[in-house]
Amino acid sequence: MALYCRVSTSDQDNDRQERDLRAYAERAGFEVVAVFRETLSGIRKAKGKHPVERKRAMAMAQAREVDAVLVTELTRWGRSTQDLMDTLGQLASWDVSLIAQTGLTFDLSTPQGKLIANLMASLAEFEHDLLRERVRSGIAAAKARGQTFGRKQGYRPSDRYAPEVMQLSETEKLSQREIAKRLGISKTTVNEILKRESRTAGTRPNGAGAGSGRADGGGS
């Protein structure tokens, strides 16, 4: 048997899934010969990413090196109803079963297996769509109340350096490179701050050029 664990974000980890699956396999008397761990969103296509570890598990199944794959739940294996049915069909053609931690075996070679797999996949997809719709509705309601989302307009993380950058540029007449070194930030950030402050003031920043010195010949 192979274990397949998948979490959706890097903030999560597969340790708990693997621990639970190993405990289940031990209770059921299964021998675990491989463990596949993946961090990948279940959303379709997930920005072009593919379940590489699941592909490895499928290759092992095709080679008949395992006769079953154990997952915590169906949604950890299939990323959509169609994806689930396609991969379950492939496993069935190799006489390999997909087993959920609940004890359900999804074997498409039987009418019961097809029915259960279809029902559970459809319910999982329906629940995902409902959650997405609730999020959209919540955001729309909050916007209607005047609440804003995301970064405040005009604010950037680099803004906290703006006063020091302007002082070093205008008072001490340091070049962009020297300012960057003094504050421990990139020259690009310094340039952006100077340009931004210049637009606000209605003038161009001194030393906005690509060189390390200022356009007025200043610098130390």
Q: Give catalytic residues, as residue numbers.
A: 8
The continuous run of DSSP H or E covering 3 comes out as: strand 2-7
Strands (E), 19-73: 34-39, 68-71
Structure tokens, 160: 């906290």
Give the CA distances from residue 197 to residues 129, 155, 167, 168, 211, in Å, rounded to whole numbers and listed in that order. Answer: 45, 13, 12, 13, 19
Q: How many residues in the chain?
A: 220
Closest alpha carbon to 189 in 169, 205, 165: 165
Question: What is the pairing mode between strands 97-100 and 34-39?
Answer: unpaired
Ramachandran bin of 41, using left for φ above 0, alpha for ψ from -120 to 50, beta for the remaining angles: beta
Question: What is the rounded distance in angstroms from the CA atom of residue 107 to the CA atom of residue 96?
Answer: 8
The continuous run of DSSP H or E covering 6 comes out as: strand 2-7
Structure tokens, 219: 């610098």
User: In 10 A of CB 196, how many CB atoms?
Assistant: 17
The continuous run of DSSP H or E covering 4 comes out as: strand 2-7
Which amino acid makes up residue 3? L
